[in-house]
Structure 1
Amino acid sequence: MITVKKEVLMDYGCRVFEAAGVSKDEAAWVTDCLVRANMKGVDSHGIQQVPGYVRGVKAGRTKPGAKMVILRETPAITIIDGFGGFGYSIARQAMELTIKKAKKIGIAFTGIHRLGHIGRVGRWPEMALEQGMIGIASQPGGVFVAPWGGIERKLPINPISVAIPTGQGSPFVMDFSLGPIAGGRLSILIERGMKVPPGWLIDDEGNPTDDPHFGANKGAQLPLGQTGLGYKGYALSMFLSVLTGPLIAAYNFDGHRPTGVFLGAIDIAAFTEIDEFKKSMDDMVADIKSSKLAKGFNEILIPGEPEYNTEQRRTKSGIPLDEAIWKRLMDTAESVGVDTSMYEVEKGGVVLHPSYTLKDKY
């Protein structure tokens, strides 16, 4: 394991994406989203995604510089074609428009077709959060989850995120998938030779397994809830599949899966005074945290607080990366002509060679 400061990862991502043909501004935004994921401890959606994105650009699957096109619009609703552009860039444009509309009429929703990976889904509701709003986002992801009572992959992983402002401390940011584990996390477990907790996966015959290869290549994940309550996660997953599929006409009927992105913003000020809302949120959080603790717990955290705390720690200590992942990052840099000698590993940490200047700030 090595440790890398966020500024060095920002420098790396910007250089590699620009060398792959991505504009300076787009390279900086995509890299910022990736490094933010690392900073919050969501490493599966962090800088390790760069090699795959670069391959997508080279193969023409991802089109840098693509602009969104509005297909259908009302004062509160927008349907957008992303034309295969970088998910991060199109989602940014779409969320900015959603927030703008919500400021005018109180609430707005946006659906996006033909869009690449948008990474950590929590990034998009956080944009609304920064404007004093409630944000919502969902993208289907890969089809890994079996329906309740089935053993075949039929449902996407369906991550969902909602961000809500508070007055003090960590905001409320829920961000999770409706299957037990994201594909990126499975890759990390495979990389490290680790097993999956019991009750998460089944093999291709429906038998329980702790082998992450069954989650990545065959077999299926069980819907959120497991242990007799998976029908609840199954129902929620179908609901999200409707929002990101039939509702916004982004459904791949050949592959039986939704393919769109669903975004939303709610202007709190249209419903109540923002200061009163934040005070009520703080009171709610304080009441929840006042509960007696269960055995094995030192404190009660609200959704988003673990990531908030991780970001504070990693700001000081840096971001841990597996050496195998760092090697892949260097291989990708070399494949697009970036001189990797500028990144030096010293005492378990990566520093920029003194002859180079950091390209961008986080």
Structure 2
Amino acid sequence: MTETTIPEAELLALATQALTQGGMRQDDAALTARVLVLADLFGVRTHGISRVPQYLDRVQVGGIDARAEIQVARMAPGLSMVDGRNGIGPLIGMRALEAAMTSAREVGIGAAFARGSNHFGPILPYAYLAAEQGFASIIASNATTTIAPWGGKDTRVGNNPMGIGVPNPGGDPIILDIALSVAARAKIRKLLQQGEAMPEGWATDADGNPTTDPKKGLEGFLLPVGGHKGYGLAVMVDLLAGLLSGAAYLTHVQAWDKNPGAAQNLGHVFILIDTSKLAAPELLRERMADFAGILRSTPAAHPAAPVMAPGDREMASLHRQRREGVVVATAELEQVRQRAAA
């Protein structure tokens, strides 16, 4: 795969222009592009600018409203409800993040529930932006069903992403961003394209039998991380992000790849804590340095692979690519250029 290195600012401007040409208002496009470019900076390229054509293709067939008037209602001092009105997911995510931040600044903790949304990218960008302003975060979303209930053989639960972030004044935050399957479908698709076998334990075939054939794995369902525990976590994320928000849940969620012209009605939840109300930034910085030091100083089982804190690899990628430029697939960048020039 051919790759191209491009400065962050240029990539951000290009993605913003492509989304604007696709029907978004410029300010909304800039917020959306910010999430996607951050994903590429973190090295999460499956959720970066490669999603721009996907989002805009769904706009063209009526599956997403590029100019949706997102509505934010304050339900209580620490609680907001965001109606995405079938807009582009990262924009709805940013509006929910902003609403939760506003509440957290005022009362110490803020929650925003979002409905009427679509794929909103990875959690890392939102948790990172929150941490930059001193907020700890718990963020989650539901998703298209790809996991069977534990012991079942039909997909009823989404590979629902969840994340927890804690700020580190003056340094890198510690952020966990995970989905709840052993492996993402994108990884299985890549193995299929490369003609390689899939590791056992990633997925089953359509009858619930273990398989190492990526084609059969894509026809079947993903296995949850930690067995029944991962299944339980996926269910609880859907209850919070989907059911409580008023969004679709479980099998009511539309699959964008199978029915791109239908609204997904995904739900998200953002819970933010203003850490400055818990401890002075100097004290938090000191405690975070000690905490991270205990983890990273653990003797490594393999010296070439030192122990890391959650998010260390992504933070290293962010700093490196901000210095040297963002590495993206040339073909994906060309698609975005074409959309920007349309």
CA drift of 1:253 comes to 7.1
Which residue does the alignment assign to 2:22? Answer: 20
Change (3 A) 1:70 1:322: closer
Distance of 2:150 and 2:56 partners within structure 1 = 37
Percent of paired sites with the same residue: 28
Which residue does the alignment assign to 1:178? Answer: 180
Change (3 A) 1:16 1:3: same
Distance of 1:172 and 1:212 partners within structure 2 = 33
SS at match of 1:209: coil
- Within 5 Å, give how 1:206-355 maps onto structure 2: 206-216=208-218, 218-225=219-226, 230-252=227-249, 255=252, 259-295=266-302, 297-322=304-329, 326=331, 330-331=334-335, 333-334=337-338, 338=341
SS at match of 1:197: coil
Distance of 1:117 and 1:157 partners within structure 2 = 12
CA drift of 1:265 comes to 0.4
**Is contact 1:45-1:184 (8 Å) kept?**
no
Q: Does 1:79 align with 2:77?
A: no
Q: Does 1:69 align with 2:71?
A: yes
Change (3 A) 1:34 1:186: farther
**Is contact 2:73-2:82 (8 Å) kept?**
yes
Which residue does the alignment assign to 2:200? Answer: 198
SS at match of 2:27: helix
- Equivalent residue in structure 1 for 2:103, among 79, 101, 104: 101
- Equivalent residue in structure 1 for 2:113, among 108, 111, 114: 111
Distance of 1:67 and 1:75 partners within structure 2 = 23
**Is contact 1:167-1:282 (8 Å) kept?**
no
SS at match of 2:106: helix
Distance of 1:17 and 1:194 partners within structure 2 = 35
CA drift of 1:14 comes to 2.6
Distance of 1:29 and 1:194 partners within structure 2 = 38
CA drift of 1:305 comes to 0.6
Deviations 1:133-190 (A, max 9, x none): 1012111122111222223212111100111112454310100101123344444444
CA drift of 1:331 comes to 5.0
**Is contact 2:82-2:95 (8 Å) kept?**
no
**Is contact 2:105-2:274 (8 Å) kept?**
yes
Which residue does the alignment assign to 1:3? Answer: 4
SS at match of 1:245: helix
TM-score calculated relative to the size of structure 2 = 0.87
Distance of 2:93 and 2:148 partners within structure 1 = 28
1:58 partner letter: Q
Change (3 A) 1:11 1:131: closer
Unaligned runs of 5+ residues in structure 2 are 255-264
Distance of 1:332 and 1:267 partners within structure 2 = 37
Which residue does the alignment assign to 2:257? Answer: none
CA drift of 1:16 comes to 2.1
The more displaced of 113-122 and 20-29 is: 20-29
CA drift of 1:209 comes to 1.9
**Is contact 1:57-1:63 (8 Å) kept?**
yes
**Is contact 2:174-2:310 (8 Å) kept?**
yes
**Is contact 2:23-2:67 (8 Å) kept?**
no
Distance of 1:189 and 1:307 partners within structure 2 = 23
Q: Does 1:60 align with 2:62?
A: yes
- Paired positions, count: 330
Distance of 2:76 and 2:275 partners within structure 1 = 21
2:341 partner letter: V
**Greater C-alpha Rg:** 1
Distance of 1:38 and 1:193 partners within structure 2 = 26
- Within 5 Å, give how 1:137-148 maps onto structure 2: 137-148=139-150
- Within 5 Å, give how 1:116-195 maps onto structure 2: 116-167=118-169, 169-195=171-197
2:223 partner letter: L
CA drift of 1:93 comes to 1.7
Distance of 1:253 and 1:281 partners within structure 2 = 37
**Is contact 1:68-1:90 (8 Å) kept?**
yes
SS at match of 2:50: helix
**Is contact 1:144-1:215 (8 Å) kept?**
no
CA drift of 1:81 comes to 1.1
**Is contact 1:62-1:86 (8 Å) kept?**
yes
Distance of 2:23 and 2:77 partners within structure 1 = 36
Distance of 2:62 and 2:108 partners within structure 1 = 39
CA RMSD of aligned residues (A): 2.5
